[in-house]
Amino acid sequence: MSETQRKSEWSNSEFRKYCVEGEKRAFELDNRGPIQFTSEGLLDPDILDAYERSGFYVFEKVIGEVELQECRSEVDELLQRAPWPHRESEVDRHGRTALGPEFAINPWIMTKPLSDPLGGTPVNNGRHPVKMFEPEPPANSPVHVPYLVAGCLQLLPSFLRIFGHPDILRVAEAINGADFTPFTEVLFVKEPEIGPSVSWHQDGQIHWNHPQWDENIHGYNVQVQLYGSTSANGVWVIPGTHREGKVDIAARVSANDDSDWFDDAVPLICEPGDAFITNRQTVHGSFPNTSKDRRVTVNFGFHRYSSVIGQTGKLSGDGNLYTEDYVRQRCRCIPLAIDARSQRFPHEERYVYQPFAGLEEQHRYSPETIRDILTDYNLRDLGI
Ligand SMILES: [Fe+2]
């Protein structure tokens, strides 16, 4: 398909039609509903089955309105402090010094509106092989917009509390075992009519040829939606690809008449407060947000301990050796998040994270523990 044909497809109702068809397929998969546990406290086996089958599951109504509002206002305040109007700027849109230089890792990952910053480039070990279509942004757009914000546990107390949610952590235990570890914690930001795309890719990096490779070896992501997510602004996945090993995405695109609109892909449709989990081995991506709807996603993930220990990091925590001490230090954010949540929602039953059971006192959420555990904590990300 020529670029001109694709542009005309984009500007007419073809994309809308593709979205509607994708939504229909998504709702036929039978992999959405509230987080539910058996009377023994185990994750409902039907949920696990559906997750294993599709590679993703949409948990409905995980975060309530009060908590969503707290997080939305913290995020709005944070985004006001991004460099503006381009990523090299030292000031924000109000002329104040932009947030960033005080952190070991720059929190702002910014690119041109509606662009695909990664597709077809060697960035991130070339894991995004195909460039998505890049529509022309509106005339008054800033040069660069933030699409990812890194190190969010130290930037947003409300993010830390969501990360400590007991049901979300019980799901992590069910999928990755009681000694599960974190991965990285970021915001995905897709503002209306300017939000960039994320080209089709699989997240997993290091275990594709592992002798004990299986579908869960690269962990999974949790994406909590502050405003919901639609077929136009949300993540799409190709169900079942987490079981296929390393997928040749470029070959799939060529076999699809050079189009990045796959007929077997489905969008992750969410209401505000829903949270989906996606296996990091699924083929997934998102289109540029040409819609009028905002998407802001609280994104984190979990790994099996056995998948990270002794490995050398890729992408997040790049080049770091994941020793026992390194992993344990990184995991301290979990008991801290549990305590932060418990202080805010004292009537909620708190999750007990086994690797730190009995050490709750040392992980009380306080100015000292925030400083000791969270300052530049993402230097120790667990990227695999
Ligand atoms: Fe991804």
CA distance 43 to 166: 12
Q: How far is the CA of 344 from the centre of ligand 1 (A)?
A: 31
DSSP-assigned letters across all residues of 144-207: -EEEEEE-GGGT-HHHHHHHT-HHHHHHHHHHH-TT-EE---EEEEE-TTTBPPEEEE----S-
Q: How far is the CA of 203 from the centre of ligand 1 (A)?
A: 5
Global confidence as pTM = 0.95
Q: How far is the CA of 172 from the centre of ligand 1 (A)?
A: 18
Nearest alpha-carbon partner for 229 in 69, 55, 19, 36: 19
Question: Per-residue pLDDT for 4 more than 80?
Answer: no
DSSP-assigned letters across all residues of 199-239: EEE----S-TT-TT--TTTT-EEEEEESS-B-TTTSEEEET
Give me the chain's average pLDDT, please: 94
Q: Which domains does the chain have, with CATH numbers?
A: 3-380 (2.60.120.620)
Model confidence at 1, in pLDDT bands (50, 70, 90)? very low
Q: From the CA atom positions of the chain, what is the Rg in Å?
A: 20
Question: Per-residue pLDDT for 118 more than 90?
Answer: no
Q: How far is the CA of 176 from the centre of ligand 1 (A)?
A: 19
Q: Is the dihedral of CA 363, 367, 370, 373 positive or negative?
A: negative
Q: pLDDT (tens digit, 9 = 90+) per residue, 167-215?
A: 999 999 999 999 999 999 999 999 999 999 999 999 999 999 999 999 9
CA distance 384 to 376: 19
Q: What does the pLDDT read at residue 12?
A: 54
What's the rounded mean pLDDT across residues 10-39? 91
CB 155 within 8 A of CB 106: no
Q: How far is the CA of 342 from the centre of ligand 1 (A)?
A: 30
Q: pLDDT (tens digit, 9 = 90+) per residue, 44-102?
A: 999 999 999 999 999 999 999 999 999 999 999 999 999 999 999 999 999 999 999 99
CA distance 365 to 384: 29
Question: Per-residue pLDDT for 251 more than 60?
Answer: yes
Model confidence at 26, in pLDDT bands (50, 70, 90)? very high
Q: How far is the CA of 201 from the centre of ligand 1 (A)?
A: 6
Q: How far is the CA of 343 from the centre of ligand 1 (A)?
A: 32
Q: How far is the CA of 289 from the centre of ligand 1 (A)?
A: 17
